[in-house]
Amino acid sequence: MSTTIISKKKQILAAGLISFTYAASAEVMNDSADTALPEISVTSASDHKTYNATSSTGATRTDTPLREVPQSVRVMTTQQIEDIGAVRLADTVDFVSGISRLNDFGGTWDNFAIRGFSGTDMGFLVNGFPGSRGYNPRRDTATVERIEFLKGPASAVYGSSEPGGTINIVTKKPQFTQRNTAELSAGTGGLKRVTLDSTGPLTKNVAYRLNLMTEEGDSRSSLLNNRRSLIAPAVTWVIDQDTVLNYEGEFLQASTPLDRGIINVRGVLGTLPRDRVLNDPSDGNMNMTSNSHQLTLDRTLSENWRAKVGASYKESSFDGFYTEATLSNPLAADNRTLNRNRTWRQLPSRDVSFQAELEGKFNTGSVGHTVLFGAEASQLWMNTEILRSAATTPIDIYNPVYSTTLLPVTNRTTSTDENQRVKALFVQDQLSLSQKWKLLGGVRWDQYNQSVQNRVGTVTNTSQQQSAVSPRAGITYLPNDWSSLYLSAGKSFRGNSGVDVNGRAFDPQHSTAYEAGFKMQTADERLGANFALYDIKKTNVLTSSDVPGFSVAAGEVKSTGFEADVYGQINSNWRLSGNFSWDDARVTKDKTLAAGTRLANIPAYSAGLLVIREDALANGSRYGLGGGINYVGNRSGNTADTYSLPAYTTVKLLSYWQINKTIRLSIDVHNLFNRNYYVGSWSNLYVIPGTERTVVARLKIDL
């Protein structure tokens, strides 16, 4: 009788860092003896119990220690997401430097600026795939393992994007250890939310994960309501010791108001209460869906080479009625009568992406290389249909009486179909020159095709083809085992929609960014810090032409700033997260705006601090007490900088009691002092009020 013991550990880099550990034993009695299947455990390397993640796949698309990456990367871990009680992506951004809230289209989608630049179209990735192109409901955290805030240009690895940075969301993966967790939440703002997270083995080499969520309430007024539900199945199949197939689906439905906020009365804010509703509640909610599928196959070719192929398919829809301010002369001269149109919108989209990568490790002399070759192809289709009522319905903003007569919508103001197709190739090399010096270089070529059909009035078809080369380079110096310094430079691009007065497509926007930084990490890897200086310039921004009604790609904007993030575990009792940013984001060249005009909604200064103390009670149970404070400086309310959103500071209290190994009770107080503040604006008309003081209780049970 002979015994064979097989033991192997490898890391799967598709859509997040996952470690698959194989252990198998077989007793070979004779030719007909049965052979045992491998026993496989799957563990996530995402630093669950700390705020300090030590590695990231998003920044370089390879598993690289963050201390060696020549750019600022802030990872929001599972522990911090749970501590702050985040249920949306938007709940996490206050604790990351350099992130600003922008117009969120009435609370229906995510829109943030990183280092002064909006990332609406490529605002976030999901496991490295485009996650926010088209029209999408706000991102829920029920499926989120961690959030990687990747600062600086991302075009060299991800293509068309803004130069300030990109957000990569890593989702929860199937585990081969059975676990079932339920969480119930209720809040004074009407929030009622239930989640279920179940994972475990189906067979010895197949594991599943199922996340469910249902939610209602949590609106700023009793006249508004919100309902959401999510089903997210995932399956991992370890085909053999070298091959892993992973599928993830997400099916989200939302019924939510298109709530643009309250009226900015000629630049005088605070004249209306934050719960004032100025649409007609009888319009009902917007109906939104987002159905996505991701499939990835990872194959280890040899000890030093791996290959990955993947595909993503996402369909989303957005439709419903909304009574909103007219596009021209919305606020009458009496400063109290708001003229409104009833509007119907239909905004479906479909996004398909394919990726292929080959990663290898080798040496040339004393220099180590980690090379990455990749190819991508994607196609995005978006349809926009907007109809408005011919008649208007005025409303008194100080004493609103809501209309019960639903006006017909007969004027088609927008009817377009847009197709975007992208093909791309990229290569990257990470060189280990020595123990102390690391070098990164990469370049990507993108070919971008866009076609738009406009069916309002005379049917017109426009198309354009653009290509761009996006390089980046960086060098890192590690003087010791707890710090590093780096310099980096990169270029990025983003396509401009439309045509000029001669019917020619605009050149794409081009950006150049420089960054210098300092990183620290304690020897036990529990506490880390990032400090960064950056300078970004973007050209070919659309601005007014000499011919009225047309634009030219001749504008220029610039953002210069400093960021600091400190995060992690101070000792066995204390954990913290602190952030500070200074951002000078301004127009430097424009046809109508003066040089030096601030970019809308971007504060010059912002900061945040989160502190949690955890300790044990006499009976052995554990508790946590802490709080967070956020400061956002004054911001320009519109593009022309004719009014400002005032600075604000909010405070939250956090507490939890880990009653035993399976039950945790949390009680949080948001906006403790009930501060009246504005998180953003939409042009000259609407400002978005922050939420009032709310108390939220959460009960988490391991079943």
Q: What is the dihedral of CA 78, 83, 89, 93, to 10 degrees?
A: -110
Q: What angle do CA 43, 48, 54 make, to 5 degrees?
A: 90
Q: How far is residue 529's CA from residue 578's CA, in Å, rounded to a whole number?
A: 9
Tokens (6 digits) for 641: 């900088």
Residues 576-597 have pLDDT tens digits of 999 999 999 999 998 888 999 9
Tokens (6 digits) for 42: 């799957």
Residues 269-286 have pLDDT tens digits of 888 999 999 999 899 999
Q: Decide if pLDDT at 245 tops 50.
A: yes
| Backbone φ, ψ for residue 91 (5° rounding) | -75, -10
| Residue found by looking up tokens 């390397």 in the block | 45
Tokens (6 digits) for 591: 């046809």
Q: How far is residue 666's CA from residue 180's CA, in Å, rounded to a whole number?
A: 19
Residues 295-308 have pLDDT tens digits of 999 999 999 999 99
Among 124-133, 138-147, 489-498, 647-656, name the one with the lowest average pLDDT: 489-498
Q: Which helix (DSSP H) or strand (DSSP E) does residue 158 occupy?
A: helix 155-158
pLDDT band at 1 (very low <50, low <70, confident <90, very high): very low
Q: Decide if pLDDT at 36 tops 50.
A: no
pLDDT band at 541 (very low <50, low <70, confident <90, very high): confident
Return all residues near 524 (Cβ < 8 A) that are at least 6 apart: none
Among 117-121, 233-237, 332-336, 409-413, name the one with the lowest average pLDDT: 117-121
DSSP codes, 130-155:
E-SSSS-PPPBSTTEEEEEEEES--H
**Which one has a higher pLDDT value, 224 or 145?**
145
Residue 53 identity (one-letter amino acid): A
Q: Decide if pLDDT at 18 tops 50.
A: no
Q: Among 369, 132, 302, 261, which Cα is nearest to 678's?
A: 261
Q: Among 463, 373, 367, which Cα is nearest to 421's?
A: 463
pLDDT of the residue at 45:
43
Among 186-200, 404-418, 494-508, name the one with the lowest average pLDDT: 494-508
CB 151 within 8 A of CB 563: yes
Tokens (6 digits) for 391: 């008649």
Give SS3 for 162.
coil
Domains and CATH numbers, the chain: 2-44 (no CATH), 55-277+290-322+350-387+415-702 (2.40.170.20)
CB 507 within 8 A of CB 527: no
CB 634 within 8 A of CB 644: yes
DSSP codes, 230-287:
EEEEEEEEEEETTEEEEEEEEEEEEEE-----EE-BTTBTTSS-TT---S-GGG-PEE
pLDDT band at 19 (very low <50, low <70, confident <90, very high): very low
CB 149 within 8 A of CB 570: no
Return all residues near 486 (Cβ < 8 A) that are at least 6 apart: 69, 70, 71, 474, 475, 476, 477, 515, 516, 517, 518, 519
pLDDT of the residue at 11:
37
**Which one has a higher pLDDT value, 664 or 33?**
664
pLDDT band at 501 (very low <50, low <70, confident <90, very high): low
List Cα–Cα distances, 606 to 565, 580, 669, in angstroms. Answer: 12, 6, 21
Tokens (6 digits) for 161: 């994007």
Q: How far is residue 538's CA from residue 602's CA, in Å, rounded to a whole number?
A: 16
Q: Is 82 exposed, middle or buried (0-12, 13-18, 19+ CB in 10 A)?
A: middle
Q: Decide if pLDDT at 31 tops 50.
A: no
Q: Decide if pLDDT at 24 tops 80.
A: no
Please compute the mean of the pLDDT values over residues 534-539 and round it to a whole number.
94
DSSP codes, 278-336:
-S-GGG-PEEEEEEEEEEEEEEE-SSSEEEEEEEEEEEEEEEEEEEEE-SSS-B-TTSS
Q: How far is residue 114's CA from residue 124's CA, in Å, rounded to a whole number?
A: 11
Q: Decide if pLDDT at 2 tops 80.
A: no
pLDDT band at 504 (very low <50, low <70, confident <90, very high): low
pLDDT of the residue at 237:
98
Please compute the mean of the pLDDT values over residues 159-166 and round it to a whole number.
88
Residues 39-84 have pLDDT tens digits of 444 444 444 568 998 888 888 999 999 999 999 999 999 999 999 9
**Count of Cβ atoms closer than 10 Å to residue 189 Cβ:** 16
Q: How far is residue 52's CA from residue 77's CA, in Å, rounded to a whole number?
A: 7
List Cα–Cα distances, 197 to 75, 145, 266, 550, 701, in angstroms. Answer: 22, 12, 48, 52, 10
Q: Decide if pLDDT at 621 tops 60.
A: yes
Q: Alpha helices, DSSP H only, in 27-114?
A: 78-83
Please compute the mean of the pLDDT values over residues 194-218 and round it to a whole number.
96
Q: What percent of the chain has pLDDT over 70?
A: 90
Q: Among 309, 17, 6, 330, which Cα is nearest to 146's?
A: 17
Q: Dihedral sign, CA of 668, 673, 674, 677?
A: negative
User: pTM for this one?
Assistant: 0.91
**Count of Cβ atoms closer than 10 Å to residue 174 Cβ:** 23
Tokens (6 digits) for 680: 């953003």
Q: Among 73, 81, 72, 17, which Cα is nearest to 49's?
A: 81
List Cα–Cα distances, 649 to 95, 605, 643, in angstroms. Answer: 13, 12, 20
Residue 209 identity (one-letter amino acid): R
Return all residues near 523 (Cβ < 8 A) that are at least 6 apart: 481, 482
pLDDT of the residue at 8:
34
pLDDT of the residue at 120:
62
Q: Alpha helices, DSSP H only, in 595-674?
A: none
| Backbone φ, ψ for residue 634 (5° rounding) | -65, 150
pLDDT of the residue at 505:
65
Q: Decide if pLDDT at 353 tops 90.
A: yes
pLDDT of the residue at 13:
34
Residues 629-676 have pLDDT tens digits of 999 999 999 888 889 999 999 999 999 999 999 999 999 999 999 999
DSSP codes, 190-202:
S-EEEEEEEEEES
Tokens (6 digits) for 292: 């996505």
pLDDT of the residue at 323:
92
CB 494 within 8 A of CB 509: yes
Return all residues near 41 (Cβ < 8 A) that are at least 6 apart: 20, 21, 175, 176, 177
Q: Report the 3 state secondary structure along 7-23.
A: EEEEEECCCCCEEEEEE
Phi-psi region of 526 (alpha: psi -120 to 50; beta: other; left: phi over 0): alpha
